[in-house]
Chains A and B, each alone.
Chain A
Amino acid sequence: MAAQVELFLQTLIAGFLLGGLYALIGLGMALIMGVMRIINLAHGDLMMVAMYLAYWLFTLLGVDPYISVFVVVPLLFLFGCALQKFLITPVMKVESILPHNQVILTVGMAMVLSNLATVFFTGNYRSTPVNYASNAWYLTDYWKNAPIELSLSMPWSLSFLCAFIITVALWFFLTKTDTGKSIRATAQDIDAATLMGVNTNRMRMLTFGIGSALVACAGCLFIPIYYLYPALGKQFTNIGFVITVLGGMGSTEGAIIGGMILGIFESMTATYVGMGWAPLGRFAIFVAALVFVPGGVASLIRRKRFGK
């Protein structure tokens, strides 16, 4: 019995820590979704780019992945701004039959990024062997007679803590600063925001930049605990998308909760069903959200009907 409880609690902890990181990925996607009404299918691939940057900083210069956040994030921010300015904005003006050209455009970007990574860095799996990778805190170290044994991995906790700090910082930025308020105004009603003197084009660019920066953070935090290969982007794009749907279409609070739910759910699937089924579990939770809690979808339709 104790072993069962132990396994369950350990899975829960792992899921919780994973969920914090997922929330960061989901946040970036939700932000871009909210402001631009498009799903960024290159989201995971931007993360892949950030992870490669962190990897090379670690391998060539010996920069700790957690320190590399300060280098990689500004770079990805600029990269995101550039993508928005030179690729997505021109497409917004193009007249076409299909309304989802921008989404297809992001698919094109994703293809280019992941393929270039394969060409330059080969398809090998890589990781950053930090020396604290296997450090952990054990429950029995603090409570001698504990009936069950739980452990808390150090890099995982550190990543979770960083994700938490970044999330709080983002919340502060969005609610307290002028720029943040302008971004939220753009997300709520683009025409009204323009009338109030918000430079919506600039806000779009900033949002894409911030979205990329957030996912770059997630990449840097993931690399000490995960491995890296060029096709990794797709998986994380899927994760980001499921979180956005779970959390209710472009809402940032929703993305955090959605990330947590998905993290715990995935960790549970891995423990009790099997590793290979995790993507299916993701889809199952996505379908469940759509069928049983269509709140997100309903709010989307409402926004589409009455928003404009």
Chain B
Amino acid sequence: MKRYWPYLALILLAILPLVGISSYTMHVLILVIMWSIIGMAWNVLGGFCGQVSFGHAAFFGVGAYTAGILYHHLGISAWWGMPACVVVLIAVSLIVGYICLRLRGAYFALATLALGEVCRVAAENMVWFTQGNLGILIKERTWVGKTWYYYVILLIAVGSYIFIKRVIASKWGYYFVAIREDQDAAESLGIDTTFYKTIALCISGVLTGIAGAFYMNYMGYIDPGIVFSLSDISILTVMVVMVGGVATFGGPTMGALIMVFLAEIVRSTPKIGAAHQTIFGILLILIIIFLPNGVVGDFRKIVKFFKPKRTRA
């Protein structure tokens, strides 16, 4: 039975727009799926390879700007950004990898944190290229309704899910986990750790970038403060995976579901809307203390907690 769960869920998701749900629900669903792609991408690098990144906004933003700049400067459809950003992001990942992957653990995390900020500052200051804080606006949207956007992002999500599952099941996946568990041991066994970390970074970067390019097409407007945002993109990415479950396949999706809905609920509540980051922060702290492997990873713990405890006879 468990084998069929993914297919069932997929069919359910595929027929969902046909039922006729509201445009707002559709929007939230699209965001959930987009975030689960970003979460899955982060999970390859952070969860499986053990390299925690606080700078995924850099990849997201570069993807979005690739699409936006193609539209703005060359006048072609922003959808071309998706194939284009694969090339751009591999290049970016190689450069980032060359610099940052010399670092370990917390230093890598911080280097990526700085990277995200640098991208934001660069995008703000290179006005001739990126329009600076003015942002890039797509004047004509491809589709008026949200249904097609939904199918596009769903297709990308399914594609990335299968791709990631294949990669993790392959030789590479074992190398990634070996690097996470003990880098020195992995190296002594003949794994070229820097090379495989760079591969993980490329996969992660490209998938995040594709999500970014989709964001550009879907939202129709980007500016550096939105797509390179530290708290709204980079840290939310980490939270999606932490809440859902590090190094699990279903975790990012679960995390995206929880986080996006939570964000929508909190932001629309008038009194506490401004404090949404406080709530996220407290949630993050609680998750780390009580469910360090996320909702999916620590599912047994949750079940055990809610099961009525047997009283001693």
B64-72, B103-111, B156-164 - the one binding chain A: B103-111
B46-54, B166-174, B206-214, B257-265 - the one binding chain A: B46-54
Closest to A115 in B: B277
B230 at the A interface (CB under 8 A): yes
Within 8 A of B (CB), among A101-155: 101, 103-105, 107-112, 114-116, 118-119
What is the CA–CA distance of A111 and B230 in the complex, to the nearest angstrom? 11
Within 8 A of A (CB), among B233-271: 235, 238, 242, 246-247
Within 8 A of A (CB), among B105-164: 105-107, 109-111, 113-115, 117-118, 121-122, 124-125
Q: Are A104 and B242 in contact (CB under 8 A)?
A: yes
Task: Write the nearest CB–CB distance from A256 to chain B, whole angstroms.
Answer: 20
Q: Are A297 and B288 in contact (CB under 8 A)?
A: no
Within 8 A of B (CB), among A205-227: none
Chain A residues near B274: list those with CB within 8 A: 118-119
Task: Write the nearest CB–CB distance from A55 to chain B, whole angstroms.
Answer: 20
A242 at the B interface (CB under 8 A): yes
Task: Write the nearest CB–CB distance from B223 to chain A, whole angstroms.
Answer: 15
What is the CA–CA distance of A97 and B50 in the complex, to the nearest angstrom? 8
Q: Are A114 and B107 in contact (CB under 8 A)?
A: no
A293 at the B interface (CB under 8 A): no
What is the CA–CA distance of A274 and B107 in the complex, to the nearest angstrom? 28
Task: Write the nearest CB–CB distance from A39 to chain B, whole angstroms.
Answer: 4
Q: Which secondary structure dominates chain B's binding surface?
A: helix
- Given known A280-B118, A305-B184, contact A97–B235 (CB-CB < 8 A): no
A282 at the B interface (CB under 8 A): yes
B39 at the A interface (CB under 8 A): no
A301 at the B interface (CB under 8 A): yes
What is the CA–CA distance of A104 and B113 in the complex, to the nearest angstrom? 12
What is the CA–CA distance of A91 and B113 in the complex, to the nearest angstrom? 22
A157 at the B interface (CB under 8 A): no
Q: Are A112 and B281 in contact (CB under 8 A)?
A: yes
Q: Are B114 and A242 in contact (CB under 8 A)?
A: yes
Closest to B272 in A: A119
What is the CA–CA distance of A287 and B111 in the complex, to the nearest angstrom? 9
Q: How many residues of A contact B (CB 8 A)?
A: 52
What is the CA–CA distance of A122 and B284 in the complex, to the nearest angstrom? 23
Q: Are A98 and B231 in contact (CB under 8 A)?
A: no
Task: Write the nearest CB–CB distance from B282 to chain A, whole angstroms.
Answer: 6
A74 at the B interface (CB under 8 A): no
Q: Are B52 and A112 in contact (CB under 8 A)?
A: no
B17 at the A interface (CB under 8 A): no
Q: Are B292 and A101 in contact (CB under 8 A)?
A: yes
Within 8 A of A (CB), among B10-55: 46-47, 50, 52, 54
Contact partner, A282, options B114, B184, B246, B285, Cβ 8 Å = B114
- Residues 71-96 of A, flagged 1 when their CB comes within 8 A of B and 0 if not, give 00000000000000001001100111
What is the CA–CA distance of A274 and B102 in the complex, to the nearest angstrom? 30
Q: Which secondary structure dominates chain A's binding surface?
A: helix
Chain A residues near B117: list those with CB within 8 A: 234, 238, 279, 283
What is the CA–CA distance of A301 and B293 in the complex, to the nearest angstrom? 27
B1 at the A interface (CB under 8 A): no
Contact partner, B50, options A39, A41, A98, A297, Cβ 8 Å = A98
Contact partner, B107, options A94, A119, A279, A300, Cβ 8 Å = A300
B311 at the A interface (CB under 8 A): no
Task: Write the nearest CB–CB distance from A259 to chain B, whole angstroms.
Answer: 17
Q: Are A101 and B288 in contact (CB under 8 A)?
A: yes
Most chain A CB within 10 A, of B122, B277, B284, B293, is at B277
Chain A residues near B235: list those with CB within 8 A: 107, 111
Chain B residues near A300: list those with CB within 8 A: 104, 107
- Given known A39-B106, A99-B105, A242-B114, contact A276–B121 (CB-CB < 8 A): yes
Q: Are B282 and A95 in contact (CB under 8 A)?
A: no
- Given known A290-B103, A294-B102, contact A98–B46 (CB-CB < 8 A): yes
Chain B residues near A96: list those with CB within 8 A: 246, 288, 292-293
Task: Write the nearest CB–CB distance from A249 to chain B, whole angstroms.
Answer: 8
What is the CA–CA distance of A96 and B52 in the complex, to the nearest angstrom? 14
Contact partner, B275, options A41, A116, A291, A294, Cβ 8 Å = A116
12 extra A-B contacts, CB within 8 A, seeds A38-B106, A109-B281, A238-B113: A39-B106, A39-B109, A94-B292, A97-B247, A98-B46, A98-B292, A104-B238, A112-B277, A116-B278, A238-B117, A290-B103, A301-B104
In the A-B complex, list the 3 residue pairs whose CB atoms are closest, starting with the nearest. Answer: A96-B292, A111-B281, A115-B277
Binding site for A on B (CB under 8 A): 46-47, 50, 52, 54, 99, 102-107, 109-111, 113-115, 117-118, 121-122, 124-125, 180, 184, 230-231, 235, 238, 242, 246-247, 274-278, 280-282, 284-285, 288-289, 292-293, 297
Give me 23 A-to-B residue pairs in the complex whose CB atoms sit less than 8 angstroms apart, sorted by A's number.
Answer: A39-B109, A94-B292, A98-B246, A99-B50, A101-B288, A107-B281, A108-B282, A110-B281, A114-B277, A118-B274, A241-B110, A241-B113, A242-B114, A245-B107, A280-B118, A282-B114, A283-B115, A283-B118, A287-B99, A290-B103, A291-B99, A294-B102, A297-B103
